Amino acid sequence: MTDLSLNRLDGRAADERRDELADVYEEAYAEKLDGAFRSRAAFLDRLAAYVQRPGFELVSATQDHELVGYIFGFGIASSGTWWGGFRGEVPQGVREQTKQGQVFAISELMVRPPWRRQGIARLLHNSLLEGRRESLATILVDPANTPARTAYYSWGWMKLGEIQPFENSPVFESLAKKL
């Protein structure tokens, strides 16, 4: 991680770098791109919506001015719409924290393949969550993504249940972590 620098971007600044972010997305998910949910166009559509959300923040990692990875998230609406597609009942405590505006959702965490397994994902993760005003964070993980699942559980995340947030998306594990 020599000469690695972290930068924080708000929604406007992230939107200005959307093509660069999409390039990393395509590289990070190259073997999983499906032309539907996991596609450049779908990612850009989701990103356009996410950067508008209150509390949006992106932390990027660069090395020698090259973007090697990033993470972003936002506060979820107190209406609880984030939990649409949740299978079963959202735990009562999570519903209450959502109503109080106390839940932060991490939407994406990715590191380009040449920089993986160097602790960059954890550095990005910790940087984004450090000092958050919310009391709970949530993240979705593909159950087939063993490296990500293993990392999240080792970083203190716990499974809430399963969720399919979009009609064309996979069913993800919904995880939570107290902040």
Q: What is the pLDDT of residues 21-73, one digit of tens each?
A: 999 999 999 988 888 899 999 999 999 999 999 999 999 999 999 999 999 99
Residue 14 has pLDDT above 90, yes or no: yes
Looking at the predicted structure, is the pLDDT value of residue 164 above 60? Answer: yes
Residues 6+ apart with CB under 8 A from 134: 75, 97, 101, 102, 103, 104, 179
Give yes or no for a contact between 70 and 108, defined as CB atoms under 8 angstroms apart: yes
Domain count, the chain: 1
CATH number of the domain residue 94 falls in? 3.40.630.30
pLDDT score of 2: 61
Strand pairing of 66-75 and 158-163?
Answer: unpaired
**Alpha-carbon distance 17 to 109, whole Å?**
16
Average pLDDT over residues 76-100: 95
DSSP characters over 81-146: GGGTTEESPPPHHHHHHHHTT-EEEEEEEEE-GGGTTSSHHHHHHHHHHTT-SSSEEEEEE-TT-H
Q: Which domain holds residue 164?
A: 4-178
**pLDDT score, position 39:** 94
CA distance 170 to 173: 10
Residue 153 has pLDDT above 70, yes or no: yes
Strands 103-111 and 136-141: parallel
* pLDDT tens column, 90-147: 999 999 999 999 999 999 999 999 999 999 999 999 999 999 999 999 999 999 999 9
Spatial contact of 54 and 5, defined as CB atoms under 8 Å apart:
no
Statement: residue 1 has pLDDT above 60? no
The whole-number pLDDT of residue 34 equals 87
